[in-house]
Amino acid sequence: MPVKMGIIGYGGMAGWHHEHSAETPGLEVVAAYDIDPARIAKAQEKGLKGYDSLRQFLADDSFELVLVATPNDAHCRLVLDALDAGKHVVCEKPVTLTLRDIDRMIETAQKNDRIFTVHQNRRWDKDFRIARDVLASETLGNVYSIQSRLHGSGGAMHGWRGEKKHGGGMLFDWGVHFIDQAYTMCGWDAFTSVRCRTANVKTTEVDDYFHLQFDRKDGGEYVVEIGTFVLKELPRWMLLGDQGTAYINGFARSGGVITLDNAIEDEPVIVMTSAGPTRTFAPRPDGVKTERELPDPDCHWTDYYKNVIATIEGREELIVKPEQVRRVLATILAAFRSAKTQKQIKL
Ligand SMILES: NC(=O)c1ccc[n+]([C@@H]2O[C@H](COP(=O)([O-])OP(=O)(O)OC[C@H]3O[C@@H](n4cnc5c(N)ncnc54)[C@H](O)[C@@H]3O)[C@@H](O)[C@H]2O)c1
């Protein structure tokens, strides 16, 4: 029997969930509730039972799992109501906007003995898995700088994402994914402090650029930078190690792992360059560097739901745990404090 799911907020992302549910064995979307009649009509057109009443939607016992995919500020109340109605809940990211809210969500899930998790689907992104595998391979030696970056040129936060009251801004929108990836890659107690700068490049009310730096316990750094108005993008990932460098372009398997061939590594010599004579910045001669292909991990976004289903059926432990989601939220809030005070915040 498939796990059946009802969706609250049948907007853009809910459509994505609905479409991809077809690729997830054991999951079937059957109903949707929205405050917008046009979105209810859309859900009905796509074969779902459409509800304009939350009470009636939650009383429908044909589904045991609820996805909350509304704007961010509406998540908490809807998650609490769904849990109290006896449903398991997947909430879209960012889970909510305050620690008080997430604590209520966790407590309510425990009280009702229901599964509660957040759609941190970017743990299954190809580029992230590649970066994690390269780091774990130790090919680069001591990786003193991990740089996770996303540059776009759209230039602004659109619709409700541009409004503070709805939990808009880049730190909440994409920062939540990349901070979650940072902890998943390095460990949940890997960072000692965070420093963050935000900017309003094209959006007045909320951040549309941020540069965040974690200090790692092992002495290294982990940088997350997201810019919405950058007309020449840098690689999505740079991993700088004392034995080599890895770079990944965009979200695909594009880039390489570059190391020096020890057998022919010589003392660098002074070279005349356009910047003048230099030894440190002299280009390495041909044949000294070896560039290898990136690893090719097997990962799919549908793996997220496979784990949710297996957890509901008691076969697996939840991968995206509520306490991890809380840690990410606490870090975002610390990053906002850092941006406001221009100080480093201990974690
Ligand atoms: N995980 C990801 O990769 C990813 C990607 C995009 C969006 N999201 C998240 O998904 C959520 C929705 O984003 P979106 O882009 O689909 O937004 P959207 O504006 O396209 O859709 C939101 C829907 O929620 C409905 N809605 C608003 N308030 C409601 C309420 N109180 N009760 C019921 N329905 C309500 C709206 O009518 C609309 O249909 C956000 O939390 C966003 O951050 C996640």
Q: Encode pLDDT of 128-143 as tens digits.
A: 999 999 999 999 999 9
- Does residue 263 register a pLDDT over 70? no
- β-pair partners for 151: 227
Rounded distance from Cα 34 to ligand 1 centre (Å): 10
Rounded distance from Cα 54 to ligand 1 centre (Å): 16
Name the residue at shortest CA distance from atom 35 of ligand 1.
9
Q: How far apart are alpha carbons 59 and 205 in whole angstroms?
A: 38
Three-class DSSP category at 246: strand
Rounded distance from Cα 156 to ligand 1 centre (Å): 18
Residue 208 near ligand 1, beta carbon < 6 Å? no
3-119 topology per CATH = Rossmann fold (3.40.50)
Residue 68 near ligand 1, beta carbon < 6 Å? no
Which residue in the block uniquely carries the two structure tokens 């939990």?
A: 167
Q: Give which of 262, 253, 305 is closest to 284, Cα–Cα.
A: 262
Residue 175 near ligand 1, beta carbon < 6 Å? no
Q: Give which of 63, 67, 66, 10 is closest to 37, Cα–Cα.
A: 10
Q: Which atom of ligand 1 is nearest to the CA of 173?
A: 43
Domains 3-119 and 126-254+294-299+331-346 share a fold: no
What beta strand segments (E) does the chain contain?
Answer: 3-8, 27-33, 49-51, 65-68, 88-91, 116-118, 143-151, 191-199, 209-216, 221-227, 237-241, 244-248, 255-260, 271-273, 276-278, 289-292, 345-346
Output the six-digit token pair for 127. Answer: 């580029």
Length of the chain: 347
For the chain, the domains span 3-119, 126-254+294-299+331-346
Residue 187 near ligand 1, beta carbon < 6 Å? no
Classify domain 126-254+294-299+331-346 by CATH architecture: 2-Layer Sandwich (3.30)
Q: Encode pLDDT of 24-59 as tens digits.
A: 999 999 999 999 999 999 999 999 999 999 999 999
- Does residue 329 register a pLDDT over 60? yes
Name the residue at shortest CA distance from atom 11 of ligand 1.
69
Residue 120 near ligand 1, beta carbon < 6 Å? no
Rounded distance from Cα 15 to ligand 1 centre (Å): 10
Rounded distance from Cα 247 to ligand 1 centre (Å): 33
Rounded distance from Cα 339 to ligand 1 centre (Å): 27
pTM more than 0.95: yes
Q: Encode pLDDT of 224-255 as tens digits.
A: 999 999 999 999 999 999 999 999 999 999 99
Contact 127, 203 (CB under 8 A): no
